[in-house]
Amino acid sequence: MDVYGLVGNPVGHSLSPPMHEAAYEALGMDAQYVTFEPETAAAAIAAAKTLGIQGLNVTIPFKRAVLEAVEPAPLADRIGAVNTVDLATDPPTGYNTDAIGLLRAFERHDAELSGTAVVVGAGGAGRAAAFALADEGLAVRIANRTVSRAEELAAAVGDDVATAGLDALPELLADADILVQATSVGMDEDGSPVPARALHADLTVLDAVYSPVETRLLRDARAAGAETIDGGWMLLYQGVAAFERWTDRDAPVEVMNRALRARLDGAV
């Protein structure tokens, strides 16, 4: 039996197991997806290798710490975070499939990735979004509550990346084409870091928050006539990318999506 898994703390809430287990069943694979909560990222990698686990997803709080225990692929190294580890290589290779998941979510919705993108947040999801969108050739602007963190990220992404505090969002968004909300705002409260008045019909808005699926930002964006993409799509496609990396097989995307949506719908 092939074994894959997720390391983090906590992981009990994760929606990765039903997605991956559904894929294994659909393809008739003799495989299992497990979760565990190690004390350190290095301990997780060592234990996984000992147990013969072929691949790992990595979540909070280990996405940055695990860099010391793997050989990061170029994009993961630039982003400074790993969320997928291929244990079939020696040393294990670390990838960032959050960036891939973001781009595939936009592709799924036929969104044109051109012009100017505003990324709200400079944490893990914000870093992945900023690098991914800059690599696609968009002009990237980063807004963050703490401007110094936005400036630090901008310096890593490129010299022409603009930064600002959240109070500047109306000005940043006035002529923007893409908005990625990459903070946790909206997860535990019915709020949004983006003023509704700043949204307009020429935007495509992706909110990385997936629980709840329908966030305040997405409701406001839809009311303004913008195209909207919920965070479940980014979650789905980062999992799809991990599955394909580990197995070298095409993922049953629709099967994985149905399994994910069933859990997301139940969480609302």
As a whole number of angstroms, the distance between CA 55 and CA 49 comes to 9
Q: What is the pLDDT of residue 268?
A: 40
As a whole number of angstroms, the distance between CA 209 and CA 165 comes to 20
Structural contact between residues 173 and 199, judged by C-beta atoms closer than 8 angstroms: yes
Copy the structure tokens of residue 176.
Answer: 């923007």
Q: Which residue has the tokens 């894929």?
A: 23
Domains assigned to the chain = 2-95+233-267 (3.40.50.10860), 100-229 (3.40.50.720)
Q: What is the pLDDT of residue 110?
A: 98
CB atoms within 10 A of CB 178: 26
As a whole number of angstroms, the distance between CA 84 and CA 257 comes to 19
Copy the structure tokens of residue 65.
Answer: 């710490």
Which of 29, 85, 26 is CA-nearest to residue 53? 85
Among candidate residues 20, 63, 127, 216, the one labeled active-site is 63
pLDDT beneath 70, residues of the chain:
266-268
Residue 63 is among the residues annotated as catalytic for this protein? yes
Sheet containing 2-7: give its strands across.
31-36, 2-7, 55-58, 84-86, 93-95, 71-72
Q: What is the pLDDT of residue 25?
A: 98
Sheet containing 162-164: give its strands across.
162-164, 139-143, 116-120, 178-181, 204-207, 227-229
